[in-house]
Amino acid sequence: MKPILYFVVPCYNEQEVLPVSCRLFTDKLSSLIASGVISDKSRVLFVDDGSRDNTCALIKEFAEKNGLVCALKLSRNRGHQNALLAGLMAAKDRCDIAISLDCDGQDDINAADEMIKQYLDGCDIVYGVRKNRKTDSAFKRGSAQLFYKLLNAMGAETVYNHADYRLLSKRALAALGEYKEVNLYLRGMTSLVGFKSTCVYYDRTERLAGESKYTFGKMISLALDGITSFTVKPIRIITAVGFVIAIISFIGIIWSVVARLAGDTVSGWASTVAIICFLGGIQILSIGVIGEYIGKIYLETKHRPRYTVEQEINMQ
């Protein structure tokens, strides 16, 4: 049986680039179908993320003209990660493989061949990794590198230079569907899913048309989600700082008492310093401890699956 492939493409205000990229994606799909690699039930699934321009009308037009195109329209702009998840979850029960990619043509569609090959060789997740960042502005390059380093230092697993161009098998999609969290950072979540994975390298080109829809605010918010959804290390840092300050404070108390006994202080100084040090140390340490519990509650409220079974062997 040939696998059914869905290209899942979130779009937000992309009227300039859509006519070009839709043609690119459907041509690719047709050639893959023609060469017998994938089933003719394969589709390009566009997700209109509450666009304000002509995007939705354009997608409807494509779907009428070309049976390979289907689409979802979100009721309002929910952001790239939510739109992508909506598409993946809709594709989950309809396809054997989903490849998510941006609609601006920056993700080289020809890398899909290698991704499918890796899937046929037994991989459930194939990460599209860009070879370099030459086509990015100096700012985007710098901020992205800083972000990956920060995320790794904080202990969250990420594939370096991988954005959201990736292939997911049916069972990887099903496992991803078990993650019920609201603050999405799909790259991190896919790493948590597990299964056999590999990387495919591609050259990321400039946008074919239009402008980036990732505003500075959206970039910061994605970065914050990446860190706060995947690690409670910032809280650990507060606890550690609290602990160090508490120790220094207690040394401060001893020092003030010794200085008092040595007699070289004005009256009232030692008791004042001792109280300030004591309260300061206790407070910061306590905030850290409370933070630890809040961190645990946060992780619990995500209701993440505790495990994903890959295979059952000789189970009756």
Half-sphere exposure of 149 (CA within 13 A, CB side): 6
Q: Which of residues 33-62 bind ligand UDP (CB under 6 A)?
A: 49
Q: Is 102 helix (H, G, I), strand (E, B) or coil?
A: coil
**Short-list 181, 187, 182, 177, CA closest to 223:** 187
Q: Which of residues 151-190 bind Mg ion (CB under 5 A)?
A: none
- Residue 258, token pair as written in the block: 């010794």
Check if the beta carbon of residue 103 is closer than 8 Å to that of residue 46: yes
Burial letters 60-74, b for 16+ CB under 10 A, else e: eebbeebebbbbbeb
Size of the site for ligand UDP (CB under 6 A): 16
Q: Which is nearer to Mg ion, 22 or 273 (CB)?
A: 22
* DSSP 8-class letter at 2: P
Check if the beta carbon of residue 171 is closer than 8 Å to that of residue 139: no
Stretch that binds ligand UDP, among 11-19, 242-250, 263-271, 284-292 (CB under 6 A): 11-19
* Residue 148, φ and ψ in degrees, nearest 5: -60, -40
Q: Which one of ligand UDP, Mg ion, none interacts with residue 10, CB within 5 to 8 A by kind? A: ligand UDP
Q: Which of residues 87-146 bind Mg ion (CB under 5 A)?
A: 102, 104, 106
- Residue 53, token pair as written in the block: 């321009």
Q: Which one of ligand UDP, Mg ion, none interacts with residue 12, CB within 5 to 8 A by kind? A: ligand UDP
d(CA 264, CA 138): 58
Q: Is 41 helix (H, G, I), strand (E, B) or coil?
A: coil
Give the residue, chosen from 6, 22, 25, 80, that forms a contact with ligand UDP under the rule CB under 6 A: 80
Q: Which one of ligand UDP, Mg ion, none interacts with residue 260, CB within 5 to 8 A by kind? A: none
Virtual torsion, Cα 27, 33, 38, 43, nearest 10 deg: 50
Q: Which is nearer to Mg ion, 79 or 281 (CB)?
A: 79
Q: Which one of ligand UDP, Mg ion, none interacts with residue 7, CB within 5 to 8 A by kind? A: none
**Short-list 207, 184, 289, 249, CA closest to 24:** 207
Q: Which is nearer to ligand UDP, 222 or 284 (CB)?
A: 222
Shortest Cβ distance from residue 65 to ligand UDP (Å)? 21
Give yes or no for residue 14 binding ligand UDP (CB under 6 A): yes
Q: Which one of Mg ion, ligand UDP, none interacts with residue 14, CB within 5 to 8 A by kind? A: ligand UDP
Stretch that binds ligand UDP, among 9-17, 168-176, 184-192, 244-252 (CB under 6 A): 9-17
Give yes or no for residue 10 binding ligand UDP (CB under 6 A): yes
Please name the residues in contact with 35: beta carbons below 8 A apart, sequence gap of 6 or more. Answer: none
Give the residue, chosen from 30, 77, 183, 221, that forms a contact with ligand UDP under the rule CB under 6 A: 77
Size of the site for Mg ion (CB under 5 A): 3
Give the residue, chosen from 6, 7, 12, 185, that forms a contact with ligand UDP under the rule CB under 6 A: 12
Site mask for ligand UDP (CB under 6 A), range 87-106, x = bound:
---------------xxx-x
**Short-list 99, 89, 115, 47, CA closest to 173:** 89
Return the bridge partners of 199, or none: 127
> Which residues make up the interface to ligand UDP (CB under 6 A)?
10-12, 14, 49, 77, 79-80, 83, 102-104, 106, 212-214
> Which residues make up the interface to Mg ion (CB under 5 A)?
102, 104, 106
